Structure 1
């Protein structure tokens, strides 16, 4: 029986993506592990591999198609001995049901498994499209269309049902014998579902409507720029962060003269190895060590608790066309400056090409955003949840400095601002963390100890 190839979830948060490019065509024979397509998520372009072997019988989603939902059918795979005639109406739209005709009941045998699914039966043709998956503890719920329909009819919350199908998929047997929820419980379950259907905390969900804004600028020339997945995600996450995370800000000036001198000496010695350290490499190391020196601040907010970490996983904002990535340098406190420099260059390069894997830009408790290279003296960065803090780094500029003996001199000074989540880090704790960062940068040789 032909196998449906479904749009995969390539990251924990992926709900839809763009089928950027097919790497196969109809009639091609594929083996398990062969690359089928390139798929763009909100953050990266990733390659999608075949799970089964067979012949590509039909491609149902053209390359370049945006907004393809996870678990939508994107192609049909034919097994050995099957032909295109065996596909039947698997990808055809169901005909409207007659008002006096009883709807056909889909067979459990036609339910697709997670990833790939079976197709080709008449029952499958009549099966309604699966609604968008819900979530359970932040994870997607996978359920067959028939199981979803039964659950909806009985008023059941799929989040409370354990699936027995492949990869925990909820199937017909899992929902058949579950007691229906009272009407009040059903109504309560519907409320969060309705809320989930609305744009999640995005800037598009607040303020004047699009029609009102367009009318405001009626008669003025402008160009409408369509939002891609990354820009939508940035808008939603940062609006949510600014609205829900209680930010407060701590500011310090850091003298860089000792660091600049030490950096110059190291780069002279490392030149033969092709290594050139940047000021940002020292900042990453200083922050990683500070999280060890003030371990209470190396934590994230997890709704009803905080998670405190042993290692320093530091994210660094990288600007790319249309948005930004925050690749994470794991165990940064353990790595040498040259190792951090090499890893950061690699992550930044692949971030700009949108070639990072999800595990390379997810996680961490602390982030760094450096706009000093753009000539910005100081700024306030928005925390990227679940991080508890982000350091905004300004440019190093020459300023007058009053020494301990009152003597006036000129030195290189860098202004930094630490944005802090007050749920995790209180004022005094944040001040201690920033003091440790400042001390590490003003005494750079101690970072090699």
Structure 2
């Protein structure tokens, strides 16, 4: 009977992963403990090993595929003498099965997701002195958990006990002990907190920057997790901000010198004009900082577009000086004065 090899949950927070690389091919014989694939989780790239022995009948997910949900079939393992042509790939968009159908479905392996309570193994006593068939990994886990394999029902080929059976048996044993405890009064769960605000949709961000030259940077699992954690921290943890003083004596002297030369043209540079130009050149020097978050990717911009806050009655406007890295100080000064005047009259 063919066994489904499932996408494993290789970390407590993993919900999906990238099948980075297959280390076996169809027709290869594999042994328990052999590395089958490299899987990129939300934390790192990890190796995924076989639980049972058999022959790889079919690879259902191509290497390099991202966003593979935990417990999705990724390959089929054949029993000795089984024909690969008889193996049919399971439908990926099949409707959910009811409880009775799940009992008749072929069992898969791979570490189940924490919520997959349906896959827990059934515990039943075995005949005294009967031989127990179990994979090496299942025996090791049972020894660590202090479980008697004679009381575990196997879901592998010919009733063989596999990793998922031992882990499920441990959960079932714990639940049976919990049921024997005196019942405690049920405390009503606290009301769920209000949902955190989310950013703009990817399509919206792409439309905003459609006319600006940029490079799309794909996100791997680690970058997605970092982004989610930092967003959560920003929204839920109080922050404080540091300030420091900077001596601008040399800049002020240079500004006075330039303004004397520009006086005939009616141009007067401000300290703000120098800061705008400095920001624009800094973004060119550090391209990774000249970027926009777009939900499922990062847009790394090529020009330096600098937004400047302009205070108006009741709020702020932030007009944008485009291509600031290419413009002279006098040009930036003239544009900024024009944008500030229009912002204050709400005519941007």
TM-score greater than 0.5 by the shorter chain: no
Q: Sort the TM-score into its range (normalised by shorter chain).
A: 0.3 to 0.5
Please identify the structure whose Cα radius of gyration is greater: 2
Normalized per residue, which structure has more strand?
1
